[in-house]
Amino acid sequence: MAKAFYTVFSFLFLITFSVSIHYVATDRVSATNSLSAVAGLTRMGSLSLSVAYYEPRVQRIEKANNIIYPEMMSIDRMDFVYEN
Amino acid sequence: MRTSPFFHFLMLGFFKERKKHIGVIAISLVILFLLGSALFISSSIRYSLNQTLAWEPDFVVQRTQGGQKVNAPTAWIDDLLEVHGISKVTPRVYGRYFFKAKENSFLIVGVDFMDEQSNKALRMMMDETDLKQFLKGDNMLVGEGVSTHLKTHFYPNGYTFLTPKGVFKKVNLFKVLPKKSNLISNDMIIVPIELAREILGMGEDEVSDIALNVPNDDEWDNVADKISAFYYDIHVTTKEDIKKAYENLYNYKGGVFLILFLIVIVTFVLILYQRYSMVYSSERRHIGLLRALGWSIRDVLKLKFFETMMIVVIAFVLGVALAYLYVFVLGAPLLREIFLGGANLPNSVILVPVLDFGILSSIFLIYAIPFISAVLIPTWKIAVTDPKEAML
Amino acid sequence: MNEILLSNQVLVYLLSESILFGLLLIAFVITFGILLKWDFGSYSEQQFLLERRAYLTMTILLFVFVVKFLLLVYFVFAIDSLSLLVPGAMCAAGVISANDYGMLLLFLKLVILFFLLLWMALNSYDLRAKNYPIFRLKSWLFIAIFFIISIELGLNFAYFSHIDTLEPVNCCSTLYGQLEGANPLPFGLNIMTLLLLFYLIYIVVMGAMLSKQRVLSVLATLLFVMIAYYSVVYFFGTYIYELPTHNCPFCMLQVEYYYVGYLVWGTLFVGAYLGIVSSIMEIGLKEERKKEQTSALILLSIFVLLCTAYVAIYYLRNGVFL
């Protein structure tokens, strides 16, 4: 049964190894560069949220809301509890 | 290969009785997978946003009216330029353009391509000949989501915008922004600044807001105070606010997720406790035999402890690897809509892999500690079995 | 709700601490019951039941000890990551001093780990002796530990729910820096005498341990921990940061310094704990504890070598001292 153990653990090791290979081999630079290019060009770095018409897409005014996540209700607001 | 008898016995028991463990491993996998995916997505988004932070302006100045943002006059730019220590004052023009009322919308962003930073960024995207051509006519750069949407609505080469004045304005689709920048550019349409004003129906002397840089970090608070005192209806957002918001974004979504997750964990613990109580009670005879053969209580505890640790390790590695595959290789279909929304254009982002000690240790702790705690008492109960049980 | 409480690390940390406390509560109730009725000489059914229950306490405490150790590392890591949320904080130093509970909490954690280690040592002796000679002693020790841990749990919640994310805190340079020429070192020492003491006491500790002067070695180790703390913060730390004005025990835990702080503080505290616990055991139980003594010596030596190496490497590279 020690054989089964070695099989299982070499399998786990293989998985860990392939994850680390993928992690190391990912091209972070080009992804960062294309993000930076857009952010630099438009001077806007806000997330491209796929929101309905009544929700703000770029919002930095309302303090109570999360600046980056306007579509997310903060739980210190009462609309989190009561339906509108 | 030589192995110690204890180890051999452990393996024998573990793999002979694997049916008992597979159920537990399966439940653990589901839990680890969900938790891991949510944490991976949010940390990856935060990482990418932090990378773009260097390119963002230090300050954004807006005009407010009754708590709502309204367009600021261009005259403000000249006032701001007079403050010492401020550089790169740039007007920003942006707004949403609805493809169909109450349905899909694009984010129109007007850019002054002659501006130094914008020009530099533009050169990162295209070469010289393209650039000349791009600047010649009414051209636009669009995000991937916009381009797909336009294509399916039979506008493959451009789009005719309807301005608020009722005039049609035809704009050529010059280039699609790379998929890699989808995180911020999916629904963007980048056009020259005058064209953006026309499409959004803004006057010549209006801008959406004003971005500016203050190269000396120590002066930020000073400058913020100074600018705020200029007008009564001015609102200043600093990069610090945004940074903090990024930090919270990660904690926030992840945090609410974790709170809900606590309920799941408690249920998990109860299930495990029940299950192990049952599994172990069927092992009474077996353990009684071992005790009769001279095993001490400590030996049995050791055996069960290693068994549990094996399950924890196997489930942890598999669960995290599955989450990794789902998020960073497959791009987290469905689950990413929690983080990016799904009400407008579909966004298929590439998430940059981010793994760090903080995330991995959090996943491990929140899984392993409840798991082992739940198993502890049933394990003890079985370990103190009387040797006479073997006779029954 | 408080932003701090929603942070992932804090949530995971508080959950883990609460679960551990739940287990300890079970162990506490059992131990209390055992202590009331314990009679090793008896052959009654009840006594056998109690002996079995003692195993549950043992298992729980072993588990708690391991996890508490991991959680201390995780705790430091968590407050380090909170420094981004708390205004003014550059590292864990600012966050931990955000309210009055922080430092006390960290101190209690170190105390608890020490007592847990002592308990483990007593327990292994007790089990080897077959007839549980010090069962009552270790049970009372556990009850004491339980009360300290209860206080710690309360402090955990009090600490994290009272961090204000709007109020700026001090950063480490104001907390530990030289304040208008006032000397932060104890007994009016200066850096030279501090260093002298550091190496001198280290030699005393070595000598006492090797020559089996138990009482001396406990006292010397205690003193060494204190002097080592000040030496690292005010002298060796500046070489780790390569900045003469940077005095902070926490910044070295960050990635910029390759997390070397975990190694520095880890070797110091684990080494000192092992040394003190084994010496106490030898004084009280007259039992040889060679293994712990040796590992304590090795760990403390690694600590001293590591600190010295930072200074030496800096000198070799730049040709001057800071």
Lowest mean pLDDT, pick from B34-43, B240-249, B327-336, C211-220: B240-249
Single out the residue in C112, C131, C161 at which a domain terminates: C161
- For residue C5, pLDDT over 90 is answered with no
C63 and B372: CB-CB below 8 Å?
A: yes
The pLDDT value recorded for residue C145 is 95
Q: CA-CA-CA-CA torsion for B265, B268, B272, B274, nearest 10 degrees? A: 120
Tell me, yes or no, whether C184 and C302 share the same domain: yes
Residue B83's pLDDT is 84
Q: Which of B25-34, B268-277, B337-346, C277-286 has the lowest mean pLDDT?
A: B337-346
In b/e form, how buried is each residue of C57-88, taking b as 16+ CB within 10 angstroms?
bbbbbbbbbebbbebbebbbbbbbbbbbbbbe
Q: Is residue B372 within 8 Å of A81, Cβ to Cβ?
A: no
Testing the interface with A: which of B108, B191, B317, B327 to mutate, by most A Cβ within 10 A?
A: B317
The helix (H) or strand (E) run that includes residue B136 is: helix B128-136
Report the helix count and the strand count for chain C, using DSSP H and E. 11, 0
How near does any CA of chain A get to the CA of B12, in Å? 5
Task: Taking residues A48-74, report their average pLDDT.
Answer: 58
Pair C289, C140 in one domain? no
CB A66 within 8 A of CB A74: yes
**Which segment of A44-48, B191-195, B332-336 scores lowest on mean pLDDT?**
A44-48
Q: What is the pLDDT of residue C180?
A: 58
* Res. B339 pLDDT band, cuts 50 70 90: confident
Partner-chain contact B298 C16, CB within 8 Å = no
Q: For the residues B19-45, what does the mean pLDDT come to?
A: 90
- DSSP E strands, C72-137: none
In a domain, residue C167? The reply is no
- DSSP annotation of B328: I
Q: Would you call B64 and A61 a contact, using CB atoms and an 8 Å cutoff?
A: yes
Rg (CA), chain C: 22
Based on the domain organization, do C193 and C60 belong to the same domain? no
Q: Which residues of A touch B252 (CB under 8 A)?
A: 66, 69, 72, 74
Q: Is the pLDDT of residue A84 over 60?
A: no
In this prediction, residue B328 has a pLDDT band, given cuts at 50, 70 and 90, of very high
pLDDT of amino acid B59: 87
Token reading at C34: 């055992």
Name residue, tokens 């907390």.
C175
Out of B16, B184, B190, name the one closest to residue A47 (CB).
B184
Query: Does the beta-carbon distance from A31 to B49 stay under 8 Å?
Result: no
pLDDT digits (tens, 9 = 90+) for B171-197: 999 989 988 888 888 989 999 998 999
Q: Please say whether the beta carbons of C198 and C117 come within 8 A.
A: no
Q: Are strands B168-176 and B139-142 parallel, antiparallel or unpaired?
A: parallel
Q: How far apart are CA B206 and CA B338, in angstroms?
A: 36
Same-domain status, C68 and C194: no
Q: Supply the DSSP symbol for C242.
A: T
Distance of CA A70 to the CA centre of its chain: 15
Measured between alpha carbons, how far is C176 from C182 in angstroms, rounded to an integer? 11
Q: Is the pLDDT score of A63 beyond 80?
A: no
Whether residue C166 is contained in a domain is answered as no
**Residue labelled with tokens 């009216």:** B65
Give the number of domains in chain C: 2
Beta bridge partners of C227: none
CA dihedral C307, C310, C312, C315 (to 10 degrees): -140
Domain boundaries, chain A: 1-45, 46-84
A14 vs B: CB within 8 A: no
* Closest CB from C8, C16, C22 relative to B251: C8
* pLDDT confidence of residue C64: 94
Residue C169 lies in a domain: no
Nearest CA in chain B to A49: B340
- pLDDT given for residue B371 in this prediction: 93
Q: What are phi and psi of B56, to 5 degrees?
A: -85, 155
Four-CA torsion A15, A16, A18, A20, nearest 10 degrees: 160
Distance, in Å, from the CA atom of C252 to the CA atom of B66, rounded to the nearest integer, reads 48
pLDDT tens for residues B126-136?
Answer: 887 888 888 88
Measure CB to CB from residue B248 to each of C3, C11, C19 and give the nearest one: C3
Domain boundary among C161, C193, C221: C161
| Cβ within 8 Å of B, A 22-41 | 22-23, 26, 28, 30-41
Last residue of a domain, one of C161, C192, C213: C161
Percentage of residues of chain C with pLDDT beyond 70: 97
Do residues B62 and B237 make contact, with C-beta atoms less than 8 angstroms apart? yes
Length of chain B: 392
Which tens digits make up the pLDDT trace of C7-51? 888 888 999 999 999 999 999 999 999 998 888 888 888 888 888
Considering the domain architecture, whether residues C148 and C25 belong to the same structural domain is answered as: yes
Tens of pLDDT, residues C86-144? 877 778 888 888 888 988 999 999 999 999 999 998 998 888 887 888 888 999 999 99
Identify whether residues C180 and C307 lie together within a single domain.
yes
Token pair 């090791």 is at which residue?
A: A13
Q: Are B23 and B278 in contact (CB under 8 A)?
A: no
Average pLDDT of span B341-347 = 82
Which of A47, A51, A66 to probe the B interface (max B CBs under 10 A)?
Answer: A47
Question: Pick from B222, B240, B186, B236: which is nearest to B56 by CA?
Answer: B240
Band of residue C267 on the pLDDT scale cut at 50, 70, 90: very high
Which residues of chain C are within 8 Å of residue B383 when distances are taken between CB atoms?
55
ipTM: 0.86
Question: Of B149, B197, B142, B202, which is closest to residue B173 (Cα–Cα)?
Answer: B142
Residues C207, C211, C212, C214, CA torsion sign: negative
Report whether A53 contacts B102 (CB < 8 A).
Answer: yes
Distance between CA atoms of residues B106 and B188, nearest Å: 6
- Looking at the predicted structure, is the pLDDT value of residue A35 above 60? yes
Find all residues with CB under 8 Å of C187, minimum gap 6, and list them: none
Higher pLDDT, B319 or C179: B319
- Residue-wise pLDDT for C168-220, tens only, equals 888 777 777 655 566 777 777 788 888 999 999 999 999 998 888 888 889 99
Residue C203 falls within a domain, yes or no?
A: yes
Element (H, E) at B172: strand B168-176
| In the predicted structure, residue B102 carries a pLDDT above the cut 70 | no
B262 in contact with C, Cβ within 8 Å: yes
Q: pLDDT band at residue A61, thresholds of 50, 70 and 90?
A: very low
Give phi and psi for B63, each to the nearest 5.
-105, 135
pLDDT at A68: 52
The model's confidence at residue B295, banded by pLDDT at 50, 70 and 90, is confident
Q: Are B52 and A35 in contact (CB under 8 A)?
A: yes
Of B15, B177, B248, the CB nearest to A66: B248
C137 and C272 assigned to the same domain:
no
Reduced to 3 states (helix: H, G, I; strand: E, B; else coil), residue C91 is coil
Reduced to 3 states (helix: H, G, I; strand: E, B; else coil), residue B161 is strand
Q: Determine, yes or no, domain membership for C168.
A: no
| Chain A residues closer than 8 Å to B94 by CB | 42, 44, 58
Residue B364 near residue B268 (C-beta atoms within 8 A): no
Average pLDDT (B206-225) is 86
Q: Which of B247, B258, B376 sits opposite C59 (nearest CB)?
A: B376
Q: Which residue type occupies C180?
A: E
Q: Tokens 């556990």 belong to which residue? A: C142
The domain in which residue C115 lies consists of 4-161
Q: Does A2 touch chain B (CB under 8 A)?
A: yes
**A65 interface with B at CB cutoff 8 Å:** no
Residue B48 pLDDT greater than 50, yes or no? yes
Residue C266, in any domain of the structure: yes
Partner residue opposite C8 with nearest CB, options B265, B362, B372: B362
Contact assessment for residue B255 and residue C8, using Cβ atoms and an 8 Å cutoff = yes
CA distances from C110 to C104, C167, C228 (A): 10, 28, 16
Which carries the bigger pLDDT value, residue B266 or residue C188? B266
